[in-house]
Homo-oligomer: A and B are copies of this chain.
Amino acid sequence: MKYYAYEEFKNDTNTLKNKVRDFNPEALLAIARGGLTLSHALAEGLNIREVQSIRTELYDKTCKRDLITIFDTCVFEKKSRILVVDDIADSGETLEAIMKHLAQKYPAIEFKSATLFYKTTSIYEPHFWVQEANDWIDFFWERDFKD
């Protein structure tokens, strides 16, 4: 288990910001909760005012794959390029499901994905990522506010 401190996040987020810059997104879509802090930082760094969020619930039905419900109430007006933001592509199932959903629901918009971490065992590889994760990541937002 690796504690991921704010200072490291700061460096990685600046690296990620430079990677996504060429895509030139007009809005960010944060996957809640994991992508909230990162999308805030990227929005400030890239000077993007529009940040929307989407969330999922996972139902473990002890099937082969978990069932993912996506709660999407987004409204994208006159947008061509949107960056989808999450902390990590771990199993990759949530990100894959969300990207598939977005492509189907908003065919006129190009969506690309960005995460801080990518596990090589993930079934989905984000368009932009910074670090390969080999260990369990203990993000500062998951540890620093617990009782």
Contact = CB atoms under 8 A, between A and B. Distances in A.
Given A36-B36, A51-B33, A45 B75 contact: no
A100 interface: no
29 contacts: A10-B144, A10-B145, A14-B145, A17-B145, A30-B36, A30-B53, A32-B52, A32-B53, A33-B43, A33-B44, A33-B49, A33-B51, A36-B36, A36-B37, A36-B40, A36-B43, A37-B37, A40-B40, A41-B144, A42-B145, A44-B142, A45-B145, A45-B146, A49-B55, A51-B53, A52-B53, A52-B55, A52-B73, A53-B53
Interface of A: 6, 10, 13-14, 17, 30, 32-33, 36-37, 39-45, 49-53, 55, 57, 71, 73-75, 140-142, 144-147
